[in-house]
Amino acid sequence: MEENHLKNSCRALLIGGSAGSLQVLFNLFPAIKPDFTFAVIIVLHRRNSGDSALSELLSTKTLAHTLEAEDKDPILPGKFYLAPADYHLLIEKNGTFSLDYSEKVNFSRPSIDVTFESAAEIYGPSLVGMLLSGANEDGTKGLLTIKKMGGKTVVQNPETAQMPFMPQHAISHHAADYIYNIIEMADFINNLR
């Protein structure tokens, strides 16, 4: 898979998902080799508050360190970060997270677009954005921004998605460089440098 190598080495992989994407992560996590050399930042739409158990649940599926992103935390390679419920997650130039409690975007907080756009600005061509199953328009604009800034985008094949609307929306708006099923996604990630 030569083609999926970024021009610049990958510093961050962003994964956005909504309805039906938790199952994808449960399948994807064990398939990702835990020695990856970039940060993986996951933005999931979920029920309000309280369920910080989600990062614990996901951490049972991988050997890599999995944690909820905290305000002003440094973003380190080799870790899975999960956006906390009910805050937008922003990326600072100095390589730290900031949380933001502003208006919902696409009826969502965290919003995938918000984090993707913020990260695209910081990481430019060293960024990969991935969009999974969902029933919302969130993510498309973010992927387009990532592309515009020179990064690469992957969208889950809608035929394999429990909720095809979100990935289909991205594809229809030409936001996808690659359209993959779960196995192909894992392969792509394992070959990212």
Partner 1 sequence: MIEDEDIAILLNDLFDIYGYDFTRYSKASLKRRIIRLCALDKIPSYAELRYRVRTDETYFKRFVEEITVNVTEMFRDPSFYKSLREDILPVLGTKPFIRIWHAGCSTGEEVYSMAILLKEANLLRKSLLYATDLNPSVLEKVRKGIFPLNQMKQYSESYIASGGIHDFSMYYTAHYGQAKFDKELAEKIIISTHNLVSDSSFNEFDLILCRNVLIYFDKELQDRVLKLFDESLGTLGYLALGTKETLKFSAVQSKFRQLNREKIWKKII
Using the contact rule CB under 8 A, the part of the chain among 32-40, 117-125, 134-142, 178-186 near partner 1 is: 117-125
- For this structure, is 173 an active site residue? no
Q: For residues 22 and 48, give the distance between their C-alpha atoms in angstroms, rounded to a whole number.
A: 16
Q: Rank residues 88 and 182 by Cβ distance to partner 1 and give the closer one.
A: 88
- For this structure, is 73 an active site residue? no
* DSSP string over 57-78: HHHTT-SSEEEE--TT-B--TT
Candidate list 100, 177, 184, 187; residue touching partner 1; CB under 8 A: 100
Q: Is 151 in the site for partner 1 (CB under 8 A)?
A: no
Candidate list 13, 22, 41, 114; residue touching partner 1; CB under 8 A: 114
DSSP-based three-state secondary structure for 96: strand
Q: Is 129 in the site for partner 1 (CB under 8 A)?
A: no
Candidate list 118, 126, 140, 168; residue touching partner 1; CB under 8 A: 118
Instruction: Number of helices (H) and strands (E) in the chain: give both, helices first.
Output: 6, 9
Candidate list 2, 35, 53, 93; residue touching partner 1; CB under 8 A: 93
- For this structure, is 35 an active site residue? no
Do residues 64 and 80 touch, judged by C-beta distance below 8 A? yes
Q: Is 121 in the site for partner 1 (CB under 8 A)?
A: yes
Residue in 28, 7, 2, 47 with CA at minimum distance from that of residue 133: 28
Q: At its nearest, how many Å lie between partner 1 and the CB of residue 190?
A: 30
Using the contact rule CB under 8 A, the part of the chain among 16-24, 25-33, 101-109, 161-169 near partner 1 is: 101-109
DSSP-based three-state secondary structure for 5: coil
The secondary structure of 19-48, three-state, reads CCHHHHHHHHHHHCCCCCCCEEEEEECCCC
Q: Which residues bind partner 1 (CB under 8 A)?
A: 49-50, 70-72, 84, 87, 90-93, 98-103, 114, 117-118, 121-122
